[in-house]
Amino acid sequence: MSPYAADRRPIPRSVAVGLPLVVLAALTASVPASAAPDREARVVRGATLEDVPLAGFSNALLPGTVDDDRGVDLGGIGSDLYPAGRKGEFWTVTDRGPNGQIKVGGTKRRTFPVPGFDPAIVKIRVTGDSVRVLSAIPLTTSSGEAVTGLPNQAGRDEAPYSYEASTPLSYDPNGLDTEGIVRAADGTFWLVDEYGPSLVHVSARGKVLTRYVPQGLNLTGADYPVVEALPSVLLHRKVNRGFEGLAQLPGGDLVMALQSPLSLPDAGAGNASRTTRLVRFSPAEGAVTAEYAYRFDPVGVVDPGEDDTSELKISSVVAVGRDRLLVQERTDKTARLHLVRLTPAANILGGRWDDATTSPSLEQLDDPAATGVPVLAKRLLVDLGTVPGVPGKIEGVARVSDDTIAVVNDNDFGMTDGAGAFDAQGRLVDSGVETKVLFVRLPHGI
């Protein structure tokens, strides 16, 4: 059995099973309490995950899935962070795997250097200044095959190409670009995906039980149940900006966050908009029960010096009460966390804003609240951009206690965009960005 297999004991450092060990080192030093005033947020602990060859990791879970990792290490587990019960332990999930963009003939092509990569749920433990992989669960179809990270549908998703952007790859209707993760009381997992966008129910062993997608998606050929249960307006999600945040409320309901505003009526309107949407789903009913309008702060407030509104994203939502959430607003450089309360009066589900022909669209309104849209009220909890030691591209957030959160960055598997991402031998030119888990003490309770 693989040392990475789910529900196994921690990997002994002294045991070699023909696979690379998880080597962990301290690359992020803790910031002492004296380094910041008492009323300022500060990093109180940091840990770093070192290099784990991706082929060894993946093939230990599902043999033969990766024939050549091109020198890429395990990464991307910073897509989300969910407490695993014991102190310092978390569930994480990878995204679709190593990917980048290379411009060919003036057009950007989406590359997948390791097309056989299977997204996985990864359980980690933070010990001192090290992160250790305790176990991992591969995502599989109904027949036990790998769920790849490749796009689903031609004409809707980006066309996939080989690492050097020269050879087209096949679409995969089973493919998932997983992001948010929560674990249910029965031991199953819920994930969100950017392609559909979709909500995915996964067994404790990683088998996709049901994938909930927008009405009218017409996804065919998947080797697992696909149910069109989400509002059709979500079909207008921006490319590569579907669901990214997922929270589980105390009663079991799920809240999904669209990473960016919908492209309604077109991409230009979506890129200029500061209004995205949260969607509430009842697992008991198997249906969406509410939808909320969420308004980003101006991009220059979130990221001083940035003037491109399309850089605004939500990557994490965290339940902190029966109807309260932490909502993360970010760019690739910085992030801020807001507290919001979900109220029945703010529910816009089934109204005119779910009609894609409504003009102007919700996304086009300069001031939705002024026109009667019940935009969720919010209160800033912490600006992580002002906290020394917090890296860029924070995507996962978890509540540790009333005054402490854990955050994790997405290191993109060490990938960069452009033709220089790989050398002449087709090996990765690593970006040097590491996966880091940081504990941040807040000046006020959540």
For 389: left if phi > 0, alpha if psi spans -120 to 50, otherwise beta; the answer is left
User: Which amino acid is it at 286?
Assistant: G
* Per-domain boundaries in the chain: 33-441
Q: Which of these, 174, 220, 170, lies nearest to 200 by C-alpha position?
A: 174
Query: Looking at residue 269, what DSSP letter applies?
Result: H
Residue pLDDT, tens place only, 244-301: 999 999 999 999 999 999 999 999 999 999 999 999 999 999 999 999 999 999 999 9
For residues 201, 439, 433 and 256, what is the CA-based torsion angle, rounded to 10 degrees? Answer: 30
pLDDT of 50 reads 80
pLDDT digits (tens, 9 = 90+) for 67-88: 999 999 999 999 999 999 999 9
pLDDT of residue 351: 95
What pLDDT was estimated at residue 252?
96
Does the domain made of 33-441 have the CATH classification 1.10.10? no
- Which residues partner with 160 through β-bridges? 110
Report the distance separating Cα 239 and Cα 157, nearest Å. Answer: 7
CA distances from 206 to 5, 74, 90, 340, 374 (A): 11, 18, 16, 32, 38
- Contact between residue 201 and residue 142 where contact means Cβ atoms under 8 Å apart: no
Quick one: pLDDT at residue 445?
Answer: 87
Looking at the DSSP assignment, which residues form a beta bridge with residue 326?
A: 318, 339
What count of other Cβ atoms lies within 10 Å of the Cβ of residue 272? 14
CA quadruple 219, 174, 291, 364: dihedral positive or negative?
negative
What are the strands, taking DSSP E only, across 234-371? 243-248, 254-258, 275-282, 287-295, 313-319, 324-330, 335-341
Return per-residue pLDDT of the chain as tens, 446 residues: 443 444 333 333 332 333 333 333 333 333 333 333 457 999 999 999 988 999 999 999 999 999 999 999 999 999 999 999 999 999 999 999 999 999 999 999 999 999 999 999 999 999 999 999 999 999 999 999 999 999 999 999 999 999 999 999 999 999 999 999 999 999 999 999 999 999 999 999 999 999 999 999 999 999 999 999 999 999 999 999 999 999 999 999 999 999 999 999 999 999 999 999 999 999 999 999 999 999 999 999 999 999 999 999 999 999 999 999 999 999 999 999 999 999 999 999 999 999 999 999 999 999 999 999 999 999 999 999 999 999 999 999 999 999 999 999 999 999 999 999 999 999 999 999 999 999 999 998 89
Dihedral sign, CA of 72, 78, 81, 87? positive
pLDDT of residue 17: 30
Provide the pLDDT for residue 51.
83
Reading phi first (left if > 0) and then psi (alpha if -120 to 50, else beta), residue 342 is in: beta
Amino acid at 308: D
pLDDT, residue 6, reads 42
Among 328, 352, 364, 61, residue whose Cα is nearest residue 180: 328
The residue assigned the tokens 């959540």 is 446
For the record, the structure tokens of 3 come out as: 């040392």
- C-alpha distances out from residue 440 to 8, 80, 196, 382, 406, Å: 30, 16, 33, 10, 6
End-to-end alpha-carbon separation of the chain, Å?
Answer: 42
Cβ density class 203-240: b for 16+ within 10 Å, e for less:
eeebbbebbbbbeebebeebbbebeebbbebbbbbbbb
94: helix, strand or coil: coil
Tokens 């939502």 belong to which residue?
317
Rg, the chain, Cα only: 21
CB 371 within 8 A of CB 348: no
Residue found under tokens 């433990």: 125
Task: Note the helical H segments in 257-315.
Answer: 267-272, 299-302
pTM of the model: 0.91
The vertex-313 CA angle with 168 and 399, nearest 5°, equals 115
Are residues 261 and 273 in contact, defined by beta-carbon separation less than 8 angstroms? yes
Judged on CB neighbours under 10 Å (0-12, 13-18, 19+), 18 is exposed
